[in-house]
Amino acid sequence: MNKYSKAEKSWILYDCNISTYSMIIITTILPIYFRMIFENSGGTSTMATAHWGYANSIARLIIAIAAPILGTIADYRGYKMGFFKIFCIAGIIFTALMAGVPDTAWIPLLIVFILSSIGNSGSNIFYDAFLVDVTPRKRMDMVSSIGFAAGYLGNILAFAICMSIVILASMKIIPISVLTACKISFIITAIWCALFSLPMIKNVKQIYGIEKEHKVVVKSFNRLFYTIKNIRQHKNLLIFLIAYFFFIDGVNTIITMATSFGADLGISDTTMLIVLLFTMVVAFPCAIIFGKLSEKFGAKTMLYAGIIVYSIICIYANFVHNAAGFWILAMLVATSQGGIQALSRSYFGKLVPKEKNNEFFGFYNIFGRFAAILGPFIVALGTQITGNTSKGIFSVLILFVIGGLILTRVSDKSVENSEEYFDDKIALEK
């Protein structure tokens, strides 16, 4: 990473925080832990899933509503890092506090989790928006892709450590319970996130922004309402966000429903975890490859490539009936999972007016957060009608088709006009 500036390196490293939190707290260990303590309290597995879903929805809804408001305020010079620190530190503290919740107190656990999730997700809004401050327009695709790759690499190590502790505890090889092993994992995750947050806090500075003025909050709301009222002035951004909503919903749905799909194929939990680990191993270099190819062919072309790969995944899922097919499916997902997300972030970063990047990344966050509703519903409906999970996954194809078609309507004019939106020389000097 010698060719990257200190600010770029620090920004890239923070992705290790995001990926690790998502994997351990959102996807694997905390859901397992919550299910165990919920059932120990007399609840059923079905209700555990329901309550876990409600908690995630509440956290996403809160941050989605707050995102554009916070982003608009953070557009003033000197505010962005302050907001980032508040949410980042809150996320770390509440993640660690989950280890102190009693084993039977599932309601307090969900409350602490919601606060932890709000902190982590809130910091991500400002982290994404800092992309325009740490690197010039022409380097955004590669820096964003390297960030996702670094996140996968760091995630592999953190996930391997935490899962090893849980597995060793379940096998009675180490003298602690599985519940205690999970709590240790929460502490490890909090420490991990803190370590990878320090370079970001120390070395990244806000370059672009609006000069401070009186009544910041009131005027921020006025600017936000003005943007919403005059959204037609940013037609290109709006079209991209709509396209993004559809194809990223498809991506999130494939990731979210993968475990259920594997379970329906009869794949064991242990095999599923191994597949998940290998998916990250493959995703690491593929994210970098996407970034490299974007330098040659352009980010928009590579977004099309990712959409095509995911469309193939939806079609191929219709023919998967065993573990071997599931492995192939998972590896296909790994080839484009990081790339399509990284380039969506950087492409949007090139489109936004630099002085209002936080406000617009707030909208970006809204579309990303709510892009986890339609896809699962389509899968559920398709599965219920056909009685086949594979058919349900196949139905997600419509999201990629719609997203891809709308993406063709996005003009590259604002991306190419670097003098209007980004001063590369200033960004490099900073």
Residue 194 lies in a domain: yes
Give me the CATH number covering residue 320: 1.20.1250.20
Residue 11 lies in a domain: yes
What is the residue whose two structure tokens read 């058919």? 391
Residue 216 lies in a domain: no
Q: Per-residue confidence of the chain (430 residues) as pLDDT tens digits?
A: 458 899 999 999 999 998 899 888 987 788 888 888 888 888 776 677 667 777 877 887 788 778 777 777 777 777 889 989 999 999 999 999 999 999 889 999 999 999 999 999 889 888 888 888 888 888 888 888 898 888 888 888 898 899 889 889 988 899 999 899 999 999 999 999 999 999 999 999 988 777 766 666 666 666 667 666 666 677 888 898 889 889 988 887 787 667 667 767 777 767 777 888 888 889 889 988 998 999 889 889 999 999 999 999 989 888 888 888 889 988 998 899 888 988 988 888 888 776 666 667 766 666 766 656 677 677 767 766 777 667 777 888 999 999 999 999 988 765 545 444 444 443 444 4
Q: Which amino acid is at 149?
A: A
Structure tokens at 195: 């370590």
79-100 burial, b if ≥16 CB within 10 A, otherwise e? bbbebbeebbbbbbebbbbbbe
Q: Are 161 and 188 in contact (CB under 8 A)?
A: yes
- From CA 110, how far away is CA 51, in angstroms rounded? 9
Q: Which residues pair with 76 in a beta bridge?
A: 210
Find the domain containing 66 and state its range. 6-208+232-429
Q: Are 401 and 311 in contact (CB under 8 A)?
A: yes
- From CA 187, how far away is CA 44, in angstroms rounded? 27
Q: Are 16 and 147 in contact (CB under 8 A)?
A: no
Residue 313 lies in a domain: yes
- The pTM for the full model equals 0.78
Calculate ∠ Cα 421-422-423, nearest 5°. 135
Residue 355 lies in a domain: yes
Q: Are 402 and 252 in contact (CB under 8 A)?
A: no
Q: Total domain count for the chain?
A: 1
DSSP state for residue 100 in the 8-state scheme: G
Q: Are 166 and 388 in contact (CB under 8 A)?
A: no
